[in-house]
Amino acid sequence: MTRLQADLLFVIVTFIWGTTFVAQNLAMAAMGPAMFTGIRFLVGALVVLPFALAEWRRLKQQNIHFDRTDLFIGLGLGGILFFGALCQQTGMVTTSVSNAGFLTALYVPLVPALVWIFHAKRPHGSLWLGVALSMGGTWLLGGGELSKFNSGDVWVMVGTLFWAAHILVIGRAADRKTAPLVVACMQFIVCGLLGCAWGLATEPFELTKALTAVGPIAYSGVLSVGIAFTLQVVAQRYTPPSDAAILMSGEMLVAAIAGAVYLGEKLSAMQWLGGVMILVAILVVQLVPLIPQMRVKAAN
């Protein structure tokens, strides 16, 4: 797969994830966030399972086998994915689709910061400008007052830590034995089982009410998890993190548009300015460090 083809896959991923915020919002009338997270990821696992089994058999024929380390990697990825999805979904109970989309995108400036913390790779100075813009944009998105932020906004922001961590490790995990589909399916199963167990233990569940959310579950399970998350695992093996982050940042704009079209949500001028500041922060963090390389290429 070429880098351009991988980038095009990310465009598809961005559109699916942006519109999925609407499905996530609608499903909250029928069940709790943990149970919805568990069911949607198990549905996604079922979509990917036949392809993962085919990949596993192919690797086995090539004398490539999975060991205990691969199992732990799958468990770890599934755990990170679960907490990211659970925090986001919990936030969706009280925040708007537009806010959730913009705030989720804060994971992009977090990625280089986590690289610095865990891999001792000092980030470019543009990170601090990006952080300042992100914080200012988040303030404006909340209406310029802390009182206008609700618990849902906080939950979504906490979830960005897990999304950033997931982006850092998923590419390496998929490349470990050239098994992106197996890795994707493993993390979906772990995330799904954790969600269902957590939901049964902490949330009321009525099957008749859950059946009214078949549409949102199908959309978010088949498209968002089964297709989009799997495409992310595949594409991130061929696309640099900077490209991936920039392309996926469009998710928040799609979410805002989808929220306006399907749910009638509206953002004030101040909130739109906040969203634009977050988008600029993302672009600054990802593009400014590339300027010296572009100058060198231009000079040659």
**How far apart are alpha carbons 246 and 3 in whole angstroms?**
14
**How far apart are alpha carbons 45 and 89 in whole angstroms?**
19
**How far apart are alpha carbons 207 and 204 in whole angstroms?**
10
In the chain, which residue ranges form alpha helices assigned H by DSSP? 3-27, 33-61, 68-91, 97-104, 107-119, 126-141, 151-175, 180-202, 207-211, 214-218, 230-235, 241-249, 251-263, 269-287, 291-299
User: Cβ contacts of residue 279 below 8 Å, gap of 6+?
Assistant: 105, 249, 252, 253
- Report whether 227 contacts 10 (CB < 8 A): no
- Position 141 scores a pLDDT of 66
Distances from the Cα of 35 to the Cαs of 7, 41, 77, 85, 206, in angstroms? 32, 10, 19, 11, 11
Tracing tokens 């095009």 back to the chain, one arrives at: 8
**How far apart are alpha carbons 114 and 136 in whole angstroms?**
21
In this predicted model, what pLDDT tens digit does every residue of 228-238 receive, in sequence order? 888 887 787 77
pLDDT < 50 regions, the chain: 146
In this predicted model, what pLDDT tens digit does every residue of 10-44 receive, in sequence order? 888 888 988 888 888 888 888 999 999 999 999 99
- Position 44 scores a pLDDT of 92
- Position 289 scores a pLDDT of 73
| pTM of the predicted structure, to 2 decimals | 0.78
